[in-house]
Amino acid sequence: MSHQDLADQIAAALKGRRPRAEHKTSEATGCDNPGCARHAGVNSFPHFPSAARSGADFGEAVADAWYKASGSSRMDIPVGIVAALALWPTKTEGATHAGRLASYFAAQPGRVLVQGYGECFAATWMKRPDLLDVAAPITQWTSENLDETLLRGVQAVTRAAVRSGVLHYTGSSDPAFRSTIDLMSWTVTALRHHSSRQGLGEYHTPPDISTTMTRLLTAKGLPQPGQWFCEPTAGTGSMFRALAETLRDHNLDPHDFGWMMQELSPLAAAAAAVNVLVWDLGPRALVACGDTLAQGDLTAAALSHQREMFAHRDRITDVTVFAVATHEANRLLNSLFPSSTAA
Ligand SMILES: C[S@@+](CC[C@H](N)C(=O)[O-])C[C@H]1O[C@@H](n2cnc3c(N)ncnc32)[C@H](O)[C@@H]1O
């Protein structure tokens, strides 16, 4: 990519729109960016029924839709779709917008969905680059040129997830409500159970058991603000979901604590990183993907990774501001001296 292209991309991203080059229209066909929602030809969003179903039903619906529509054993794509929908920035009190937004998603072609999910991950990266870096195994597919079969899978999973209530659960502006369920866990475990020919699966602690355990742990005395919690085999973070719920029940703010999740499986660690944001565990909630038994220093590594990623993000922001200023100056100069652009 040339520097000018990069500057265009960065400038467009900062202004919240796609670069001009990707929006160019040809007189015959209209917009030639197949991922562009405005020009994809979907102008109406018929009502699409959606409601919050149980976690088990949710996971089953997503896994079933994925395997039937795509026939693919990839898990990064369906898990990433649920992640993007859960991170979708529109949040309202009581998730009152969820039904309408579900109809919008259900009407979109696969390529539009992929582009939208990619943009959602990019915007979230700007907020917490450390977590989105850990989540890369379930976000990177949005930069691939997916074939038609996988795109059908993207559309089928999107419809299954919104029909089963992902937006109703995660569209609430109240993090306490969003923490009532671990949709990432239900998705990962259902996909693993479906794909395993030996009937072997991945098992996470049932939510009721996690809640009982955290209530027992806190019965003797509540944790003090400033305290750190460590989960050495975190999975998607189900234990921390229950702990955050218990703290909130006692009017304690998860932001006042430190949360360290360590997990061997890159996919589960990626899902845990997404959950940190969905459950709003706060600025001192970290996820490390690694082997707790073999790597004694995962917490220190996660803290240093967080510092590095924030510094990296800040450098990119500085370069971007400079790129936008240069881009605008160039545009103004070109409009003042139009003949110079013809050369
Ligand atoms: C049974 S699951 C439990 C997950 C979670 N703690 C819960 O209660 O729902 C066990 C998790 O531990 C992870 N794990 C196993 N050995 C590990 C290790 N040496 N280091 C980090 N994670 C490990 C597995 O990948 C799996 O996700």
Q: Which of 205, 213, 264 to mutate to test the pocket of ligand 1 (most atoms within 8 A of CB)?
A: 264
Q: Is the residue at 44 inside a domain?
A: no
Integer CA distances (angstroms), 77 to 37, 101, 127, in order: 20, 21, 22
Q: Is the residue at 34 inside a domain?
A: no
Ordered DSSP codes for 93-120 = GGGTTHHHHHHHHHHS-HHHHHHHHHHH
- pLDDT value at position 10? 59
Q: What is the pLDDT of residues 41-72, one digit of tens each?
A: 566 788 999 999 999 999 999 999 999 999 99
- Above 70 in pLDDT, residue 197? no
Q: Is the residue at 13 inside a domain?
A: no
CA of 260 to the centre of ligand 1 (A): 14
**Cβ 115 under 6 angstroms from ligand 1:** no
* φ and ψ at residue 177, rounded to 5 degrees: -70, -40
Pairing verdict, β 285-289 and 25-26? unpaired
Distance CA(289)–CA(298), nearest Å, equals: 8
Q: Is the residue at 261 inside a domain?
A: yes
Which pTM was predicted? 0.87
Q: Is the residue at 39 inside a domain?
A: no
Token reading at 161? 């997830």
Residue 31: which residues within 8 A CB-CB, separation 6 or more?
Answer: 23, 24, 25, 38, 39, 40
Q: What is the pLDDT of residues 92-144, one digit of tens each?
A: 999 999 999 999 999 999 999 999 999 999 999 999 999 999 999 999 999 99
Share of the chain above pLDDT 70, in %: 85
Burial class from Cβ neighbours inside 10 Å (0-12, 13-18, 19+) for residue 45 reads: middle
Q: Is the residue at 339 inside a domain?
A: no
**Cβ 204 under 6 angstroms from ligand 1:** yes
Distance CA(55)–CA(49), nearest Å, equals: 18
Q: Is the residue at 173 inside a domain?
A: yes
Q: Which domain holds residue 277?
A: 49-304
Number of domains forming the structure of the chain: 1
Q: Is the residue at 182 inside a domain?
A: yes
Integer CA distances (angstroms), 212 to 58, 206, 208, 217, 239, in order: 23, 10, 6, 9, 10
* Residue corresponding to tokens 């800040």: 314
**Cβ 323 under 6 angstroms from ligand 1:** no
